[in-house]
Amino acid sequence: MNKPIIFEGAGVAIATPMYADGSVNFDVLAQMIDFQIKNQTDAIIVCGTTGEAKTMNTDEHIKVIKFVVDEVAGRVPVIAGAGSNDTAYGVALADDAVACGADALLLVTPYYNKTSQEGLIHHFNYIADRAKKPIILYNVPSRTGLNILPETYAELSKHPMIVASKEANGDISALAKSIELCGDNLHFYSGNDDQTTAFMALGAKGVISVLSNIMPREAHNIAQAALDGDFKKSAALQIEYLDMCNTLFCDVNPIPVKRALNLMGFDAGECRMPLYHLSEQNEQKLIACMKKYNLID
């Protein structure tokens, strides 16, 4: 079957701005959403890794999703993070995200508990059986200690509600095998900004991007060139912005990107603990890189 495409291009894995006491700064979140849409973001992914969802309680999580859905008002798709290492909680979170009006759900692989590949199939299918919106899987072994294998993707792609995956394992060969096995039954997005062009050359539909938080138009342009079939242009843009892609990961995400947002004038605040602020060395590295791309004076 041909699965629906939730979005094509560069969707922002949006950071969650916070006050000094750690509460969510909804006024600044509205400013960030407006900035994204004015600068051609193709989708907004809320309450993911970059959004610090795992430090939110359920009430906060749902309030943030609802706020983003209402603020976006249908201008671009909104994908809500609803993954958990507790399958039953994942179902409940998915239900709440759907009730908020999210267009799709992003489900990360179970972390800490982990599971087998067979367990992954049962976990995701259990949630998908009960979900009322399309599901994008999220494979990020560096965070979870668990990797989805191509053969597992092939099995999961049989479920009508599982339509895509954000693939952040960095393994281009595995991506090629997954696309071979799944065909049009499962779409892929790069989970790494520095691999957007390479992923899309193999058939991925775009990227779920950290870079887009501060350079949404540039991230969109990298992906759009690939969608237009101009891979030479896409590759040139990928290389042009590679330094920024890499610098945003000089420390644990989203520490650098929230600092970058602050430097650009968005009062994004600090990350919640256990994440800590940038070292002086990385701060200077980030500032130099932002000046290189004329993001700050």
Residues carrying an active site annotation: 138, 166
Q: How far apart are CA 222 and CA 230, in angstroms?
A: 10
DSSP per-residue letters across 150-191? HHHHHHHTTSTTEEEEEE-S--HHHHHHHHHHHGGGSEEEES
Q: Look-up: residue for tokens 């590949």?
A: 117
Q: How far apart are CA 99 and CA 70, in angstroms?
A: 12
Contact 192/33 with Cβ under 8 angstroms? no
By the 10 Å C-beta count (0-12 exposed, 13-18 middle, 19+ buried), 129 is classed as: exposed
Neighbours of 36 (CB within 10 A): 24
Residue 10 backbone phi and psi in degrees, to 5: -115, 115
The radius of gyration of the chain's CA atoms, rounded to the nearest angstrom, is: 18
- One-letter amino acid of 12: V
Q: How far apart are CA 81 and CA 49, in angstroms?
A: 9
Angle at 289 between CA 283 and CA 293, to 5 degrees: 140
